[in-house]
Structure 1
Amino acid sequence: MRGALPVGENLRLWGLRVEANCPFCGEAETPFHLFVKCQFATWIWDHAPFQKHLDPATFTSLQAFIEKAKTHTCLPPCGVNVGPLYPWIIWSIWITRNQRIFNDKRTNPGETLTQAISLAHEWNRSQAPTSLTPQLSQRQLLPQQDPRAVVCHTDAAWIGDLKVAGLGWIFSNCSAGPSNHGSVRVDCIRSSLLAEATAVLFALQTAVRLGFTNLLIASDSKQLIEAISSEIPQMELYGILFDILSLSSSFNQIRFVFVSRKLNSKADALAKLAIHNSVPIPV
């Protein structure tokens, strides 16, 4: 960076702000510290969905760290395999740092990582030809898939007045026996979109416990699949979207697709049954 970045170390050298330190931890702020060694940055690199773990503790310079980061592939569902993720992580750390210093806006590492992934998506979409733009809303059938992949349909039923949701998921193309489906009621769910995302999260947790390694998640929530696969997520999904992306790194292969409600009827029935059996019927 040739000493041009206005971090604390350079500001002191320029005689501008001798007291400037890292806004996240209070230690001396160098580019290497800010982007790699600070506990804020270390958390992000530790949880970034790379195929191989990128351990900040094993590096002694920012240049060496970046050279190594260039070789790391980002796992699905982030979908940034056509371009690197690490520049967007560095950029998002820088933006978060400036927001904290100048606007006193505090963003946690999970939100910063989610922002980086979203920016990487946005950049990749802007580079792709218009003819290659995914026509997600027109998808009615499951896409061609690896015959070894386990397919998981998820759905949610939500009662807005009670903030209660029923979640359902069902696995096919597997030998999970009695564990091939599940349903549950959850409370304090603020929206139907959050309910759909929670259903996906529960399904992923179940798939991890069952030892699946190749998974296709199918949902009839177009808005949710776009948030996971390509779109900048809404504020209400920041936390749970990070959990979904983190769990996704547990699989060798994973895809998230939108399907019609007709193809999702069994998961829908499980979700409605979960909420029907747990919510009292008014007399």
Structure 2
Amino acid sequence: MAMDKLKHIIRETLDVFNLEKEGQNLAKAAHLVPWLLWRIWKNRNELISKGKEYNAQEVLTKAMEDQEEWERREAEANGPRCPPNPPARETREAVKWKKPPQGWVKCNTDGAWSKEGNRWGIGWVLRDNQGKVLWVGARALPRTRTVMEMETEALRWAVLFMSRLNYQNIIFESDAQELIKLLNSGEGWPHLDPQLQDIRSLLPNFNEVKFVFSSREGDKAADRVARESSSLENYDPKVYSIMPNWLKSIVELDMEM
């Protein structure tokens, strides 16, 4: 019976979607497809677990709301990374990179992009509780992803590498605030779900993990690595066990008291 109801919801939803296409731009309607599928999947789970039903118009409305929310988050991610012209001394002291507690390591991740060019860069920097750089990862990506997907890939790659190195207590820090919210809330988004699922599947390999937001000013080393990555000649990942010379000045500034 539940499956019959689910099939009915899907048919109704697709009928409404076809009507939408007749009255709106086809390209705009096509962008709604992932959100409809995402919402149908969520409603299928609620129907099976809670017996809760939604009609086609409700499904369509929620899918459009999901799309609008994603576009808002993308716009925020593409916007200014910090307030314009902040007082230099005050901002630098307020958001300076902080050492992790004793027994912990901290991994900062970031992505770099520009309006020109066909590639983006992602990077991460792992440091101990004394601020010593342990590992650095740099990698270029083809420019086929959204900003949020790029930031998520930077974090996913870092989590994967840290799990292989067997670190147990680790803080992952990123300036992608919406991404950190998703990870801490357990929520998902259609375009990010494969990456988020990969991240979450790796968490049992650690003893304790924290996902923390940091402004760009507190994440300068990872930002420098990401910008360097965007200029790499190929898409092969590069991992350094010795800090590269081009990163030393940024790390030294972080260590100043």
Q: TM-score, normalization: structure 1?
A: 0.47
Secondary structure of the residue aligned to 2:205 is coil
For the pair 1:170 / 2:107, whether they are aligned, the reply is no
Q: Which of 224, 231, 244 in structure 2 is aligned with 1:276? A: 231
Preserved CA contact (<8 Å) 2:174 2:219: yes
The aligned residue for residue 227 of structure 1 is: 182
Q: Which of 244, 253, 268 in structure 1 is aligned with 2:208? A: 253
Counterparts of 1:151-170 in structure 2 under 5 Å? 151-159=106-114, 164-170=119-125
1:198-224 CA-to-partner distances (Å, cap 9, x unmatched) read 000111111112111111001111121
Using CA pairs under 8 Å that are at least 6 residues apart, name the structure with larger relative contact order, 1 or 2. 2
For the pair 1:199 / 2:154, whether they are aligned, the reply is yes
Check 1:159–1:95 CA distance in 2 against 1; reply closer, same or farther (3 A cut).
farther
Q: Aligned residues, how many?
A: 161
Secondary structure of the residue aligned to 2:231 is helix
Preserved CA contact (<8 Å) 2:128 2:134: no
**Which whole-Å CA distance do the structure 2 matches of 1:212 and 1:92 have between them?**
38
**Which whole-Å CA distance do the structure 1 matches of 2:186 and 2:2 have between them?**
32
**Which whole-Å CA distance do the structure 2 matches of 1:255 and 1:270 have between them?**
22
**Which whole-Å CA distance do the structure 1 matches of 2:193 and 2:146 have between them?**
14
More divergent stretch after superposition (264-273 vs 237-246): 237-246
- Unpaired segments of 5 or more residues in structure 2? 8-42, 57-93, 235-257
1:103-151 CA-to-partner distances (Å, cap 9, x unmatched) read 8xxxxxxxxxxxxxxxxxxxxxxxxxxxxxxxxxxx9467895421110
**Which whole-Å CA distance do the structure 2 matches of 1:241 and 1:263 have between them?**
24
Secondary structure of the residue aligned to 2:124 is strand
1:233 CA drift (Å): 3.5
1:29-70 CA-to-partner distances (Å, cap 9, x unmatched) read xxxxxxxxxxxxxxxxxxxxxxxxxxxxxxxxxxxxxxxxxx
**Which whole-Å CA distance do the structure 2 matches of 1:96 and 1:142 have between them?**
47
Secondary structure of the residue aligned to 1:249 is helix
Check 1:270–1:96 CA distance in 2 against 1; reply closer, same or farther (3 A cut).
farther
Check 1:245–1:149 CA distance in 2 against 1; reply closer, same or farther (3 A cut).
same
Secondary structure of the residue aligned to 1:203 is helix
Secondary structure of the residue aligned to 2:230 is helix
Q: Which of 171, 174, 185 in structure 2 is aligned with 1:216? A: 171
Q: Which of 199, 216, 220 in structure 2 is aligned with 1:244? A: 199
- Unpaired segments of 5 or more residues in structure 1? 1-5, 9-19, 24-90, 104-138
Counterparts of 1:85-234 in structure 2 under 5 Å? 93-95=45-47, 140=95, 146-159=101-114, 164-173=119-128, 180-230=135-185, 232-234=187-189
AA in 2 matched with 1:183: A
1:276 CA drift (Å): 1.9
Preserved CA contact (<8 Å) 1:163 1:191: no
More divergent stretch after superposition (184-193 vs 260-269): 184-193
Secondary structure of the residue aligned to 1:180 is strand
**Which whole-Å CA distance do the structure 2 matches of 1:230 and 1:178 have between them?**
30
**Which whole-Å CA distance do the structure 1 matches of 2:222 and 2:213 have between them?**
14
Q: Which runs of 4+ in 1 moved over 6 A?
A: 96-99, 141-144
Identity over aligned residues, as a percent?
A: 24
**Which whole-Å CA distance do the structure 1 matches of 2:151 and 2:113 have between them?**
9
**Which whole-Å CA distance do the structure 2 matches of 1:161 and 1:277 have between them?**
15
**Which whole-Å CA distance do the structure 2 matches of 1:259 and 1:191 have between them?**
20
Greater percentage in helix? 2
**Which whole-Å CA distance do the structure 1 matches of 2:44 and 2:129 have between them?**
40
